[in-house]
Amino acid sequence: MHRDDLFLEFVRVVERAAIAAARTMGQGDRKYADQVAVDAMRKEMESVDIDGTIVIGEGERDEAPMLYIGERLGRNEAGTAAIDIAVDPLEGTNLCAINEPNAITVLAASERGGLLHAPDLYMEKLMVGPGARGAIELDAPVADNLAAIARSLGLRVAELVVVVLDRPRHERLIGEIREAGAHVRRISDGDLCAGISCAVAGSGVHAVMGSGGAPEGVLAAAALRCLGGEIQARLVVSSQEHERRCRAMGIEDLRRIYRASDLAPGREILFAATGVTDGHLLRGVRRFGSGARTCSLLLQNRAQRARFIDSLHVDETDDDAVVQLRF
Ligand code: FBP
């Protein structure tokens, strides 16, 4: 890709989706919140100078009118870079609808073939930050993984905080984490945001365990590639229909354990996310009289840095607001 301008273009896309989604915050309608974010992201992508293809999106063409897997995006002019794009226009639709922390808008990009085409199934996941990379095994007993993570981080197991989605399917897992002596933080939604957090120093999160969406797994892998963290993951294939959908996407080994470099194998990875509701990692959208302020995270696997971008957006027609911002 080698195009620094794409960075800011992608930030603009996630910012616009976040500002749009934030207008629905707390209104209790998750579908509408998602639709608004999808519309805004789709519209903003039209002006980006790429030949993009959605590989992780809102679903297959017949179930998603926009941002469906396989949809072409961008200006698509001759000679522009061919790029694969993974989006979650609103990660945490429920969190936005009820105005709870950590709803974000997300986009990852890579050269063609740089992001796994994954069906929208569940995925077992184990995510850690750079300090515990290489220490985990998806199939190892929970207590062994926790001991290995603690050892790698120079902590005691009793000091570890593990995030788990609050679902009945995770009751046994939560029991095992507690029995091993670590602390559980249950979250109602948003394992992607949690996965990013465990790779950010000082976030207070040391690992994420349990099953969640596969699209969120691929997006987390893209972020973790940039942050030096790790994910181990396996698709949950529990019916013939699941098998069919995997094979349709070229996945033959249904029991395969994927690592970050399998889910997001690209040479170049860009990752951008903007906060919608206030969260541990990113502040949410704050509206002022004639505009909005956003906080975004921008990652690139080749750069040894994470950028937090604080932007003020002024509504186009309001000249007074432009004057205010000059101070
Ligand atoms: P949405 O934003 O698509 O609603 O996803 C939220 C989420 O909590 C993800 O973070 C997580 O991976 C997935 O849903 C878990 O799925 P489920 O709610 O079916 O357990």
Centre of ligand 1 to C-alpha 262, Å, is 22
Residue from 140, 209, 207 nearest 172 by CA: 209
Cβ atoms of 39 and 45 within 8 Å: the answer is no
- CATH class of the structural domain 122-263: alpha beta
**Cα 127 from Cα 162, distance rounded (Å):** 10
**Cα 216 from Cα 187, distance rounded (Å):** 15
Q: Whose alpha carbon is nearest atom 17 of ligand 1?
A: 212
DSSP 54-112: EEESSS-TTT-SSS-TT-EES---TTPPEEEEEEEEEE-HHHHHTT-TT-EEEEEEEET
pLDDT at 63 over 80: no
Cβ atoms of 44 and 13 within 8 Å: the answer is yes
User: Which tens digits make up the pLDDT trace of 289-305?
Assistant: 889 999 999 999 988 78
253 CB-near residues (< 8 Å, 6+ apart): none
Centre of ligand 1 to C-alpha 151, Å, is 31
User: Which tens digits make up the pLDDT trace of 110-131?
Assistant: 999 999 999 999 999 999 999 9
User: Which tens digits make up the pLDDT trace of 161-197?
Assistant: 999 999 999 999 999 999 999 999 999 999 999 999 9
| DSSP classification of residue 162 | E
Please give the pLDDT value at position 327. 43
Domain with CATH 3.40.190.90 in the chain: 122-263
- CATH class of the structural domain 5-113+269-326: alpha beta
User: Does the CB atom of residue 100 touch ligand 1 within 6 A?
Assistant: no
pLDDT at 323 over 70: no
Please give the pLDDT value at position 320. 59
Nearest ligand 1 atom to alpha carbon 216 = 12
Centre of ligand 1 to C-alpha 187, Å, is 11
Kindly state the average pLDDT of the residues 64-68: 85
Confidence category of residue 94, pLDDT binned at 50, 70, 90: very high
User: Does the CB atom of residue 91 touch ligand 1 within 6 A?
Assistant: yes
pLDDT at 135 over 80: yes
Domain with CATH 3.30.540.10 in the chain: 5-113+269-326
| Mean confidence (pLDDT) of the chain | 93
Confidence category of residue 66, pLDDT binned at 50, 70, 90: confident
Cβ atoms of 120 and 72 within 8 Å: the answer is no
User: Does the CB atom of residue 193 touch ligand 1 within 6 A?
Assistant: no
**Cα 321 from Cα 304, distance rounded (Å):** 36
Output the CA torsion sign for 111, 112, 117, 120.
positive
User: Which tens digits make up the pLDDT trace of 191-237?
Assistant: 999 999 999 988 999 999 999 999 999 999 999 999 999 999 999 99
**Cα 81 from Cα 114, distance rounded (Å):** 13
